[in-house]
Structure 1
């Protein structure tokens, strides 16, 4: 099972992924942002500046997950904001087309709570870089919050502004426990 944790930047995807891995040490954690760092170091940037706009990133992300599944059968947790429906369909469609079961979860959070979280997060020890990241994330809030309404059928939603990371992990683990191996959700 590939457990894709989606939602706005600052919604708590990484925190939830870490909590899941702590509760289920057999889970693999795959962060597609690492692929983004590789891609950014190899090719010219996308005009938007977002590595997700590079087909290379999307292809490498899907390929890396497929390779992981070839060699490791345990479930994989993927914390990654992916709110463009065409990109989401491209990556998840490639995976499901190859028979990989997906549990797609979208974390929702009140817009004001989200903005406050982002404003108080430290994402880099370099203050200048931290400010650039914060500004970029804040500029993405509207599109990421609105993406809730365009998520594909079968997406499961959790409110990370209302529930604690532990409660969210309990819900995800109960969903996993109730899923038949090889089924797609």
Structure 2
């Protein structure tokens, strides 16, 4: 089974994916962004636009996830924002055509909720410190510019199943996805402080400097 976790940038996809992986034995996170980062690094900086528009990215994601789903015995989790219906058909749709059991979920929240989460992300504060206290993180700025478009497109029926996350936590969102997918997660025995520290660690591991 593939769990594709969609949603706006800063919407909690990566944290939710790693929460599921932590509590679902045998599962693995395969992040389609890494395919895009590799393509960006192969291009001159001035040509690095949205890698989702590259056919090579869409084809590469399908090939990588098809291999993981075919060879790996556990659940595969892919946290990735896809808002273009054509791109969705060429990735999620194509994997379904190949015979894979793909469960797609879109994490949604009100605009102000996502903006607050972007401001509060621990690794964004770390980047701001490293680059100077008045420097706005590049990733956050790009995410803010994309936010309205993401929320508008991802609210469409074709991007269901929709899960609203304004008044819930990452562990509870993971629980909800598991129920809808027919999976059983290990119980979550973490306290709030340990959860925050672990989530900060996930964020730091996903810092990008290029």
Q: Distance in 2 between matches of 1:106 and 1:46?
A: 31
Q: Distance in 1 between matches of 2:102 and 2:30?
A: 14
Deviations 1:78-97 (A, max 9, x none): 11111111101111121011
Q: Distance in 1 between matches of 2:41 and 2:113?
A: 34
Q: Where do 5+ consecutive residues of structure 1 fail to align? A: 179-185
1:42, CA displacement in angstroms? 2.1
For the pair 1:156 / 2:161, whether they are aligned, the reply is yes
Match of 1:170 among 172, 175, 192: 175
Map 1:67-86; keep pairs closer than 5 Å: 67-86=67-86
Alignment-derived partner of residue 137 in structure 1: 143
Q: Where do 5+ consecutive residues of structure 2 fail to align? A: 184-210
1:148, CA displacement in angstroms? 2.6
| Counterpart contact for 2:2–2:69, Cα < 8 Å | no
TM-score, normalised with respect to structure 2: 0.77
Name which of structure 1's ranges 39-48 and 155-164 shifts more when overlaid on structure 2: 39-48
1:44, CA displacement in angstroms? 5.5
TM-score, normalised with respect to structure 1: 0.87
1:169, CA displacement in angstroms? 1.3
Alignment-derived partner of residue 118 in structure 1: 118
Specify the SS of the correspondent of 1:133: helix
1:150, CA displacement in angstroms? 2.6
Greater radius of gyration (CA): 2
| Counterpart contact for 1:85–1:150, Cα < 8 Å | no
Specify the SS of the correspondent of 1:74: coil
1:15, CA displacement in angstroms? 0.9
